[in-house]
Chains A and B, each alone.
Chain A
Amino acid sequence: MSVSEVNRTKVLDRIRDALGADAPDMWRQVDVRHRLVTHPSGTIPARSLGNHEACLTLFSGMLSSQGADVARVHDPEGIVKAIAAYLAKFELSTELRISEEPVLVTLPWLLAPRLKQIYGEPSAADKIGLSRAIAGVAETGTLFLVSGAGNPTSLNFLPETHIVIVDEGDIVGSYEQAWDNLRGLYGEGTLPRTVNWISGPSRTADIEQTIIRGAHGPKCLFVVILDEQGP
């Protein structure tokens, strides 16, 4: 046996000894399998069980209270205009590092000729990053972003300002609902390499418990909700 096999056997044997368990004990196996297959949910907070409109309101409210800026727009043109207005208002860079999501690439960028779109691997010098969230969770104003082709994880952390687009149809009440949607996309028991839950701009309170924004990640988080059904 190799050293790593010896180590593995040692730890697992010690655990079985301490638990007084036999490895092939059928009932323990059944218990474990059952839980993994059924993945029962715990208590879901009542606040996330409201109707869709209530979830949208809670989602925006939680994000704002955690230091993010939120806008709700009704068409792709609205996204481009909201981004241009946001960058102008805070006098931020007009160069956007964009994740190569079809939805983002095909936005009507011509509406904002001053904005420059750059694609490809993010760099530490990027000022503005633009990504799409696969889900939003109302309960705590939490965005779900996944890694994948054209979707670098580092884009969520390197730029000073992070702009995230989320479709209102992808906003759900609880984390569990979002996981169920992901199971539908990726299969049971399978996740993309990275799932980032993001609930506000980067912050630290390590020095004298004073909250400072932009510790290592973005100083600003701007969330644009695309609500094509809305008023």
Chain B
Amino acid sequence: MTALSPDFKANAAKALANADLQRALLNVKRGFVMKRASAKARLPEFDRLRNEARAIKLHTLSHLDLYLEYYERKVAESGGHVHFAPTAEDAREIILKLCRDAGAKLVTKGKSMVSEEIGLNACLEAAGIEAVETDLGEYIAQMRKEAPSHLIAPIIHLNKETIAEDFRLAHVGLPSDRTLASAADLVAEARTVLRRKFVSADVGITGANLLIAETGTSVVVTNEGNADLTQALPKMHIVIASIEKLVPTLEDACTILRLLARSATGQEITTYTTFSTGPRREGDADGPRAYHVVLLDNGRSEMLGGSFNDMLSCIRCGACLNHCPVYTTIGGHAYGSLYTGPMGAVLTPALLGIDHARDLPNASSLCGRCEDVCPVRIPLPSMLRAWRERDFARGNPSLTERMALKLWVYAAKRPRLYHTLSGAIIKMLAALAGRTGRLRRLPFASAWTRGRDLPAPQGKTFHQLYAKRSRG
């Protein structure tokens, strides 16, 4: 994975000033959050399922070598092939070779974050193979040469007028006076264009939401049905998935599937959940003649057993993004990484190195909503803190930051001094604010007050009040 645009602070500032983006982000803030809450309310067992899903994932991770070996054997039994890819480059080479051996000219693709992570499309195109994203959002992102900005809603940052302009440019040969005013018009046009791709593709590549060891099965969920047309029609189906997608049994898959859609879109279940095991069987009416699974490591094995082990239980639902005050203010692209929001701020430094992503763990107020909504209860805030500690230990923050912290530590260790100072600062701020009770500008923090006022502290410090109460 490469950093897309590493200057987080500049990106965030740009995002705040982008009115279209801010309008689009309201959909995340309102829609997804509300829908998840009502889906959760309809399922009283939701929290118990979260505990169970977490236990399933942690159990699998601590036995990952053994489950992978079993999974591999089951895939082979059903006539499929498993390929291990230690790095992104290995994965690209394996897939490119499979496509070349199949004589592929056109490849259709279901939505896959891992495929984005390894930069698969660019690699295929460089080899003269056309790769077409078929998830509507990914298709539009690909058309615009943009990265997806949300795990499950890749083009949440775009409005339909922009998309209509893109379609007019990209879909040449259609009448120029056609109507593309509504989302329905756009969907209908994409359906027609992509239908032709589906039926003529040589290879279909999908990701996997889950892999099941018991049966050697890959599972993919969609609402559109695009991953199904992608894998059912061509002569070869390639699955690209990372090693931590594995669960032991069909029952374990059910527990996770009960949480996935509810956490992501607030649906009871996605329209389509597809379980694929090997290639077409003898006598089958259709299906791919060959089935390959490429299992990507790319830094994940190094996370096992360490401080970031639990991050490997992530099921990519996007709930932490939807509930994050930072993500819903700046959107996904500002993170400069494929993985965004709280999960991205933990995962990106693990995959790229903290030096390439040191702003991300700091882009959080540690409010804890992400952990509250995570279907597998990943302790995201404490992991963000762990990255901050590592970053600090490496001497990364600037001299001013370190000096300020040192001053604060000096005062905090001396209660008397701390009380005197804080009392004085409170008085000073109250005096500066005057009658409005609000500060429009703060010395040393003008960037912070550019977007908002600081309500001035009222009255006394907590310690003063506490002392007074205990006396009285």
Contacts and interface: CB of A to CB of B under 8 A. Distances in A.
A10 interface: yes
Contacts of B31: 209
A60 to B, nearest CB: 14
B459 interface: no
A7 B272 CA distance: 33
B217 A191 contact: yes
Nearest to A142: B269
A216 B194 contact: yes
B213 interface: yes
Given A42-B251, A152-B285, A203 B224 contact: yes
Interface in A180-219: 189-210, 212, 214-218
Nearest to B298: A11
Nearest to A154: B232
B226 A216 contact: yes
Interface in B279-302: 279-281, 283-287, 295, 297, 301-302
B305 interface: yes
A217 B214 CA distance: 29
Given A194-B275, A214-B187, A124 B254 contact: no
Contacts of A158: 229
Interface residues of B, number: 103
Nearest to A9: B84
B418 interface: no
A200 B251 CA distance: 22
Interface string B230-248: 0011000000000100001
Given A21-B65, A201-B271, A208-B183, A175 B254 contact: yes
B288 to A, nearest CB: 9
B225 interface: yes
Contacts of B297: 11, 14
A35 B59 CA distance: 10
A39 B214 contact: yes
B65 A23 contact: yes
Contacts of B18: none
Interface string B45-57: 1001100110010
B257 A175 contact: yes
B65 A45 contact: no
B309 to A, nearest CB: 9
B287 A203 contact: no
Contact of A42 (B52, B64, B84, B304): B52
A45 B194 contact: no
A8 interface: yes
A147 B49 contact: no
Interface string A5-31: 001101110111111110100001101
A51 interface: no
Interface residues of A, number: 82
Nearest to B46: A45
Interface in B23-77: 24, 27, 31, 43-45, 48-49, 52-53, 56, 59, 62-70, 74
Interface in B393-408: none
B99 interface: no
Nearest to B64: A15
B160 interface: yes
Contacts of B252: 39, 42
Interface string A140-162: 11100001111111101110000
A39 B250 contact: yes
A205 B135 CA distance: 11
B224 A204 contact: yes
B376 interface: no
Given A15-B68, A206-B154, A217-B224, A196 B160 contact: no
A151 B268 contact: no
A124 B155 CA distance: 28
Contact of A202 (B74, B232, B255, B271): B271
Nearest to A206: B137
B13 interface: no
Contacts of A11: 68, 84-86, 243, 295, 297, 301
Contacts of B107: none
10 contacts: A7-B83, A11-B84, A15-B301, A142-B269, A148-B283, A152-B287, A198-B271, A209-B31, A215-B223, A217-B272
Interface of B: 24, 27, 31, 43-45, 48-49, 52-53, 56, 59, 62-70, 74, 78, 83-86, 90, 94, 134-137, 140, 153-156, 158-160, 163, 183-184, 186-188, 191, 194-195, 198-199, 213-215, 217, 223-226, 228-229, 232-233, 243, 248-252, 254-255, 257-258, 265, 267-281, 283-287, 295, 297, 301-306
Interface of A: 4, 7-8, 10-12, 14-21, 23, 28-29, 31-32, 35-36, 39-43, 45-47, 62, 66, 99-100, 121-122, 124, 140-142, 147-154, 156-158, 174-176, 179, 189-210, 212, 214-218
Q: Nearest 8 A-B pairs (CB), nearest first?
A: A217-B225, A215-B224, A206-B137, A152-B285, A18-B304, A14-B301, A42-B255, A39-B249
Given A147-B286, A203-B224, 7 more contacts: A141-B268, A148-B284, A194-B274, A198-B271, A203-B223, A215-B191, A216-B195
